[in-house]
């Protein structure tokens, strides 16, 4: 399970999600898929449950999505946006 770090603020603005890392004074823009993923990371859903929700929302092959999700979560963790719950 993952959740946004305590210093992270997340808002959808138009067709992008804006992530603000307050401690680093950094702003990151995410596309709609990235926004959907971040919105699902609430420390109550497992990665498998996030994957299930995304498979229902997007017309994509589960195996490809699983690989992309794993990579994206690693990128978010490395960027200091999320942490393991």
The model's pTM is 0.87
Tokens of 8: 């992270």
Q: How far apart are CA 44 and CA 61, in angstroms?
A: 24
pLDDT of residue 13: 82
Q: Which domains does the chain have, with CATH numbers?
A: 2-79 (3.90.930.60)
pLDDT digit string (tens) for 14-57?
Answer: 778 899 999 888 999 999 899 999 999 988 899 999 999 999 99
- Distances from the Cα of 70 to the Cα of 14, 17, 48, 73, 78, angstroms: 26, 19, 10, 5, 12
pLDDT of residue 48: 96
pLDDT of residue 16: 81
Q: Is pLDDT above 90 for 2?
A: yes
pLDDT of residue 23: 87
């Amino acid at each position: 399970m993952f959740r946004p770090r305590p210093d992270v603020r997340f808002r959808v603005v138009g067709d992008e999600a804006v992530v603000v890392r307050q401690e680093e004074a950094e702003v990151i823009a995410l596309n709609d898929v990235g926004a959907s993923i971040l919105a699902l990371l609430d420390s109550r859903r497992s990665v498998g449950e996030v994957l299930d929700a995304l498979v229902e929302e997007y017309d994509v092959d589960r195996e490809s999505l699983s690989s992309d999700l794993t990579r994206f979560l690693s990128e978010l963790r490395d960027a200091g946006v999320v942490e393991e719950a």
